[in-house]
A and B are shown apart, each in its own frame.
Chain A
Amino acid sequence: MNFPTSASEGSFEHPEAQTLTGGYAHAAHAAADTPAAVGSQTGARLVPPAATASAWLPERTDAPLLKRAAEAFAAMDGTALNGAFDHLKTLRRTALAHALRLGLPTRRSEAWKYTPIERLADRAWRFPMPADATASPDDVAAALLPGVCDVPDLADVVVLVNGRFDADHSHIGTLPDGAFVGAISTAPEALQPVIEQALGSRTRMDTEMFSALSTAFMPDAAFVYLPEGAALTRPVAVVHLASGDSVIVSTRTLIVAETNASATVIERAAAVDRTHATFFLPVTEIVVAEGASVKHLRVQDAGERVVEVSNTEAYQSGPSVFDTLTVGLSGATVRNNLRIHPDAEHCESHLRGLFVAGGQMHLDNATFVDHAMPNCDSNELYKTLLDGQAKGVFNGRILVRKDAQKTNAYQSSRAILLSEGAEMNSKPELEIYADDVKCSHGAATGRLDDTAMFYLRQRGLTTAQARALLLLAFARDVTDTIALEPLRDWVDGRLQDLLHAEG
């Protein structure tokens, strides 16, 4: 019945540790998180006394997964190591070192309190070989987002198989001048400096083991670049495919929107063969400059054999709008780390999620909005439906740093439990160091409203119909925000299927 044992989660950020120089510095976080910072107030003994970080962090550095990672990394030849870019070699080496140092999180780690990733990660996963990436065109077509990717001229489609760019299945139409949609391996020379600067700069490899691990093994990355003023008329669909059984797929997406640019990017991960077990490690880095607007959607519906730990990092370098929506409909264990850093005044950030989990699914959403600048707004709405033996986790954290006056931060998590055995764990956190702010959060968990059910039954609907209707209405707040009609229809269709099937 104790609270979890960990002070290492970055949930300990006192103002004096927040020396943010030159934008958003990782080092500032690291400093606040290390035990050396604890107890410095009195200048006396540390908490804990004479202990090093590795001695008390509840992570396992001896996990088989990491052993295999070190071996696979050592076995890579020069070409594989360089990947798409020469400078990637350094980035990967740093990332691997971070991963090995950080260790596999266990449930003793506060951030993984409700999600037993250790057991899953210790399975016999392997890092894919180039030979694994042999998907037939038909398989690939079937795994794409139907209604979106297969309609000509509806979207620009970037396909990566096991993290490698697949030119055959990707199709990219005419783009505004200077814009690029594709992979970093095919990006023009002129964009190299942009890639070198942005890739790996946002994701917190030094604190997130899975992000570091993914970075160490990413063969390529989907890349969307928008120069000043460029507005994409079509959405970009990035499809990450996994090929081979029991593979760990390190996928990467990099989105850079310069001043006044705008784009919509949809991401989807799927196994070519849905009977194959896959461990997806997607990392998405998004940079939004002044006046730019980026809409990001992540669709998670990869089947019951998929384990996924995603890390999405959005960085708003100027007054801008960032909007992200995660739709999760299936998976064995899915953990989404979403972090937004509005690092300029007058930023607007929207976070939304819609999840339907049934069977044995374990779903964990960890969101973090880091308000460091004044006059920003953030708005978060997560809705979760849990059926069967599914377990849901929502850990939403809003940090308002000392100088972030006039922040408006709103967070809401709503969950409905549909069966005995379903479980929901919520941890909405507010951490506030500025006084002139308006922050609130609400978390509610319950079941379907009996009176509403009665009302509908009275009007002749069957229990199943009434139930589905109410649940669709519950989801509508979120689905209505999907601007792309074919995608909205697809999500609605999947919801209908799931809700009727489970009714």
Chain B
Amino acid sequence: MSTAETEYLSDIADQEYAYGFVTDIDAETLPPGLSEDTVRFISAKKNEPEWLLEWRLAAFRHFMKLLEAGSEAYPQWAHLRYAMPNFQDISYYSAPKQKAQYESLDEVDPKLLETFERLGIPLAEQKRLAGVAFDVVMDSVSVATTFKEELSKVGVVFCSFGEAVQEHPELVRKYLGSVIPHTDNFYAALNSAVFSDGSFVYIPAGVRCPMELSTYFRINERGTGQFERTLIIAEKGAYVSYMEGCTAPQRDENQLHAACVEIYAHEDSEVKYATVQNWYPGDENGVGGVYNFVTKRALAAGDRAKVSWTQLETGSAITWKYPSVILKGDDTVGEFYSVAFTKGKQQADTGTKMIHLGRRSSSTIISKGISGGESQNAYRGLVRIGPRAEGARNFSQCDSLLLTDRCGAHTFPYIEIQNPSGQVEHEATTSKIGEDQMFYCAQRGIPEGEAVKLIVNGFAKEVMAKLPMEFAVEAQKLLAIELEGSVG
């Protein structure tokens, strides 16, 4: 590798987070600490019905049991190295005071608008973008929802989780925890106890959601954890494409983010879920940065249901995330497309789980890991073909690209086959940018910096192409910024 190239790559690795700032909005914040009272406070604050409080309390008791069991119960299998968070040091509730639903942007707190301005995703522009409605979750409570009317015409419910609890309690009660029970894992238990808000989507039978649904998640208040809970229900024959994107302000201490996303897909329905994650990854010494411990799971419950997860992961100090699909119905389809880019001291352990239960269910996994700086980037995935999953198929491809000689790229696939008719193929490769590729570019007058961008984009293209159009532009920009560094 030439000196210029080495310098360029180290510049990339050293690039500081461009989106670090704190928006000062008056928030109602609970002092740090976790107890039954915390759970009761959150529930009361949100005016929740008794059954939901009980549900939270059951999760809380389970979580406390896990905490007491100590290290035994703490998930340690991931290829990650970090200090276990102190759950009593975290504030579990933070809500912006102005929580009215705005009809127009003029009413929105200008500082909030400014935040989005600085993110390069101005709310105003987003609103102008035809066909995109979005629900801004800022510090756990929804403050802006658009295009609600248009959606309600076709019967689509797209609102904050809190609103859904008030307006559609029967739906929430039926589906909450049906895909991710509160006992599922350590962080799912925590989330179930203290989740503050999130998004709720309901697509009635036979309805094709007329627009892409989008939510921008933000972590804002100092020292507050973010515990989103998202629930998406697609009835028979429904279709929805959902986008989630995130960035976070710079801060000194580690922030815990433990979200849960549940998707319930009925017969013949299709759900596409896309994520761009760009939370604060910590400074050049690995100090600060977001701990991103997310449980995302879809249940393809009915026959021929189809669920796809697409993700671009560029942020967070620690990423621990396995968007999964349980292929319960016959002829169901699960897809996972992922680009995980790590640099600096970032650590990512991410992948998917495809649980084949239904006959002829099929799944595709395409995972591209790009490691730079001194980061550690691991793919961890499970493909299970159950004994009754006659004729199930899976194809997995996990490629890793190493940009420096100080980073790590790892692949930990678990493949469990209990039916002889299952066809499962897994392939993984690890390589760096080839000297021949660089030479080819140089020969054609492409400077090294551009060449690296070109090659990395080509490496990730297969996945990036799966992102919805509105997102793809932003995602490509993000990847380019991540790569660019101070060298143009």
Identify the A interface with B (CB < 8 A): 1-7, 11-12, 14-15, 35, 38-42, 44-49, 51, 55-56, 110, 402, 405, 415, 417-447
Contacts and interface: CB of A to CB of B under 8 A. Distances in A.
B77 A6 contact: yes
Contacts of A426: 413-417, 426
User: Top 9 A-B pairs ranked by shortest CB distance?
Assistant: A48-B71, A417-B420, A44-B83, A435-B402, A7-B76, A426-B415, A430-B411, A51-B71, A440-B429
A48 B70 contact: yes
A345 B409 CA distance: 22
B82 interface: yes
A281 B415 CA distance: 28
A435 B405 contact: yes
Contact of A428 (B72, B428, B430): B428
Interface of A is mostly: loop
A307 B41 CA distance: 57
Given A3-B414, A420-B420, A445-B422, A48 B84 contact: yes
Among A3, A40, A48, A417, the one with the most B-chain Cβ atoms within 10 Å of its Cβ is A3
Interface string B120-161: 000000000000000000000000000000000000000000
Contacts of A40: 81
Contact of B428 (A42, A49, A441, A444): A441
Contacts of B422: 417, 445-446
B24 interface: no
Contacts of A405: 405
B77 A45 contact: no
Interface string B427-468: 111111000000000000000000000000000000000000
A447 B429 contact: no
Interface residues of B, number: 59
Nearest to B396: A443
A425 B422 CA distance: 12
Contact of A423 (B412, B416, B421): B416
Contacts, number: 192
Interface of B: 70-72, 74-79, 81-84, 86, 184-185, 286-287, 322, 324, 345, 353, 355, 376, 380, 382, 387, 400, 402-432
A110 B78 CA distance: 11
B402 A446 contact: no
Given A51-B71, A442-B425, A429 B412 contact: yes
A232 to B, nearest CB: 38
Given A3-B414, A417-B420, A444 B426 contact: yes
Nearest to A397: B412
A441 B411 contact: yes
12 contacts: A11-B79, A12-B79, A38-B76, A48-B74, A417-B422, A418-B420, A431-B79, A434-B402, A435-B403, A444-B424, A445-B417, A445-B424
B408 A3 contact: no
Contacts of A422: 420
B263 to A, nearest CB: 15
B415 A425 contact: yes
A3 B84 contact: no
Given A425-B415, A428-B428, A435-B402, A3 B423 contact: no
B471 to A, nearest CB: 29
A432 B400 contact: yes
Nearest to B418: A423
A5 to B, nearest CB: 6
Nearest to A420: B420
A323 B440 CA distance: 38
Contact of A39 (B84, B403, B405, B410): B84
